[in-house]
Chain A
Amino acid sequence: GAGVSQTPSNKVTEKGKYVELRCDPISGHTALYWYRQSLGQGPEFLIYFQGTGAADDSGLPNDRFFAVRPEGSVSTLKIQRTERGDSAVYLCASSFTGGWGEQFFGPGTRLTVL
C-alpha cells in the first residue's frame, strides 16, 4: 500500500530564497508530523497537526518556518529567507489517530542551502 510520500526528494536553493516542502500522509491518517534531521543525528520534532490544525508547533526554530494542512491531508512546510543552517533532511510522518505510538515516516526531502 501507499506510504507517506514527500516531494521533492532533493531541493537545492540559495541563501535568502523561499522554499516549500510537501508531504502526503498515509490515507486515513489524521495526525501528521514534521521533523528535521541534521547529518549524523536523530530526527528532531518541528510541528504536529491533528486534522487541519497545528496542535503543537513548539519545535519550529523561528518564525521563518511555517506549515499548513488546509484540508487535513497534504501538508506543506514553508521556509522563508533560507539560511545555510537550514540545510538538513526534512522528514514527514503520519499516524492513524495522533495518540500514543506508531508514526510512519516518509523518505524525506534533503534541503541544501548554498
Chain B
Amino acid sequence: GQQLNQSPQSMFIQEGEDVSMNCTSSSIFNTWLWYKQDPGEGPVLLIALYKAGELTSNGRLTAQFGITRKDSFLNISASIPSDVGIYFCAGQRDNAGNMLTFGGGTRLMVKP
C-alpha cells in the first residue's frame, strides 16, 4: 500500500484562487516528484526536487522539498479551469532502487 500521505484528498477551487497540497512520510525520501493526471491519461511530470530545502517553480507551480526529507508541498497560484485533475506526489528512497512510491492523490475540482 501507499506510504506517502497526501492531503487534502480533494478540494474545490474557484478560478483565481491559490491552491496548496502536501505530502508526508514516516520515511526519508531523496527525491520528490509531483505529477498531474487527467482522466484516461498517464501521470504527467510537473516538478522534480532533488535536494532537501529546495524550492522550485514551474510557471504558476511552486514545490518544496522539506528539510527533514519526509515531506513536500505543491502550490498552484491563480488557478485556472485546466488545473482540474488529480495531483500525485512521488518519492524515491536510497534503499528502494529506482521505484517511485506514490501518494494517494489530491483531486482538484471546480466550484459550481
Residues from chain B with Cβ under 8 Å of A16 in the complex: none
Indicate if the CB atoms of A102 and B2 lie closer than 8 Å: no
Residues from chain A with Cβ under 8 Å of B43 in the complex: 43, 91, 105
Residues from chain B with Cβ under 8 Å of A100 in the complex: 30-31, 50, 92, 98
- Chain B 36-76 near chain A by CB (<8 Å), digits 1 or 0: 00001111110010100000000000000000000000000
Indicate if the CB atoms of A107 and B98 lie closer than 8 Å: no
Give bound CA distance, A108 to B41, whole Å: 7
Give bound CA distance, A48 to B44, whole Å: 19
Number of A-B residue pairs with CB-CB distance less than 8 Å in the complex they form = 76
Set B4, B31, B33, B42: member contacting A106, Cβ < 8 A: B42
Give bound CA distance, A10 to B27, whole Å: 36
Given contacts A105-B43, A107-B41, contact A43 B33 (CB under 8 A): no
Interface of A is mostly: loop
Residues from chain A with Cβ under 8 Å of B2 in the complex: 41-42, 44
Tell me how far the C-beta of B49 lies from the nearest C-beta in chain A, rounded to whole angstroms: 9
Tell me how far the C-beta of A58 lies from the nearest C-beta in chain B, rounded to whole angstroms: 8
Set A42, A45, A103: member contacting B105, Cβ < 8 A: A42
14 contacts between A and B (CB under 8 A): A31-B98, A41-B2, A42-B4, A42-B102, A42-B104, A44-B1, A45-B99, A56-B98, A58-B97, A93-B42, A95-B98, A102-B45, A106-B42, A108-B42
- Additional 11 contacts, C-beta under 8 A, given A98-B98, A108-B41: A41-B104, A42-B4, A43-B43, A43-B88, A45-B99, A93-B42, A99-B98, A102-B33, A102-B45, A103-B33, A104-B45
